[in-house]
Structure 1
Amino acid sequence: MTNATTVTAGSVAADLDSPDDPSGLIVLAHGAGSDRRSALLRTLSDALVDRGLAVARIDLPYRQLRPKGPPSPSKAALDRDGIRSAVALLREKVAVDGPVIVGGQSYGGRQASMAVADDPGLADGLLLTSYPLHPPGKPDKARTEHLPRITVPTLVVHGRSDAFGTSDEFAAVLPAFGGPTRLIEIEKADHSLKPERSGVGPTTADAVDGWLLPAARECAASRFGWS
């Protein structure tokens, strides 16, 4: 049975889908032009809940302030604060003994990765879909400075036709992460990952279940002394 609830408190707005007795919690933030009800986040949530995970799709603070439009670079720190607040609240809301994974699509994933780089205790793993490695056509403006400070296991889901980073560029940058990484490539998919036809939902869920969740559980065990 899946339980669906909406969680709102302070700077947190989330749609939470959870099976009975979830094996872990995943908190996902949306891309720059979207919100928590995007097709991609709903597709990922459906597939991950089927694997026994609780999934919270959150609206970042800038999206709560206005329904449309891109985020402001000068206020990105507030979006990271929103992710931290969401994780703290959802840890209390969801009764789960398993690991907590954060991440999201493009801008949301980038902000989650920066939050984890600044606070390694925020989560036990990262799930980054369509990470914006650089602006389209500007590979010299790589967004990689914080990657060495990310020590938790990280799963990167990348569309082969993504203009924000080529497959070769992602393969080259993965060793920069401070923790273990895996790259999953989605054929015939661009930055949107085309959730309606690419199979990104089950492909991502398989990788989370088969690699990220066990790696994050090991990370949490070392932190909390789980047996």
Structure 2
Amino acid sequence: MQPRATETTIPTAGVRLAADLLTPDGAAGMVLFAHGSGSSRRSPRNVAVARVLAGAGLGAVLVDLLTPQEERVDLRTRELRFDIPLLADRLAGVVDWLVSGGGGPPTPIGLFGASTGAAAALVAAARRPDLVPAVVSRGGRPDLAGADLTRVRAATLLLVGGSDEEVLGLNEQAARVLPGTVELRVIPGATHLFEEPGALAEVARQAADWFVGHLPG
């Protein structure tokens, strides 16, 4: 059976954000996505991962963390996409919305972040330690989480392409700093966007296994 696809808006941090929900029947958890700089909730890569999660019994929330007006400004300035505190505040607000039942019956919540979105996901997890037990980073920039990185208690999986050397180094440093359960896994031959044959499918498979294994219940 295909998961239900729903478009909605989510109130968070004083704004309303457009979001797509992908929910299988009896979802065992919801995974909130934070896309990278210059991307959107319709990112084909994140949608592909969300569909694999749905096959594993997990729902997905794909949300634009900037309003349409902010997106227009950001196209000129490219500043808001790197405003990690702002993005993290909004992610934390979406977590609160999910906990309140806004997306359906409350379930355990995981965060999936890509590129700069991974930093926002880690900061949000640090701010909601009792609500977010698991995080997955795809080609992430955990260094942009700053001091919040040392406050993350969620079980964190760092997935990096083997050919993405600079980002791999940054993730190796982060893995030494993160205080909770953390694993760094390298996808051989993959570059930053995991465009190589089979690379994104491997990311999705490992992400699904991580969330199934680390979300309570």
TM-score calculated relative to the size of structure 2 = 0.82
Show structure 1 runs of 5+ residues with no match. Answer: 135-141, 222-227
Alignment of 1:1-227 (within 5 A): 1=1, 2-10=3-11, 11-61=16-66, 65-67=70-72, 69=75, 70-72=78-80, 75-91=83-99, 92-96=101-105, 98-133=107-142, 145-166=147-168, 170-194=171-195, 197-201=197-201, 203-217=202-216
Q: What is the aligned length?
A: 208
Q: Determine the C-alpha separation between the residues in 2 that align with 1:163 and 1:64.
A: 35
2:141–2:171 Cα contact (<8 Å) kept = no
2:155–2:180 Cα contact (<8 Å) kept = yes
Alpha-carbon distance change, 65 to 100 in structure 1, aligned in 2, over 3 angstroms? same
Q: What letter matches 1:83 in structure 2?
A: L
Structure 1 residue matching 2:189: 3-state secondary structure: coil
Report the CA distance between 1:62 and its aligned residue. 5.7
1:105–1:131 Cα contact (<8 Å) kept = yes
Alpha-carbon distance change, 90 to 97 in structure 1, aligned in 2, over 3 angstroms? closer
Q: Determine the C-alpha separation between the residues in 1 that align with 2:191 and 2:67.
A: 25
TM-score calculated relative to the size of structure 1 = 0.79
Q: Determine the C-alpha separation between the residues in 1 that align with 2:8 and 2:95.
A: 12
Q: Determine the C-alpha separation between the residues in 1 that align with 2:117 and 2:82.
A: 15
Structure 1 residue matching 2:215: 3-state secondary structure: helix
* Cα shift readout 1:42-84 (whole Å, capped 9, x = no counterpart): 1111111111110111111266622563343784322222112
1:160–1:187 Cα contact (<8 Å) kept = yes
Alpha-carbon distance change, 52 to 76 in structure 1, aligned in 2, over 3 angstroms? same
Aligned-residue Cα RMSD (Å) equals 2.6
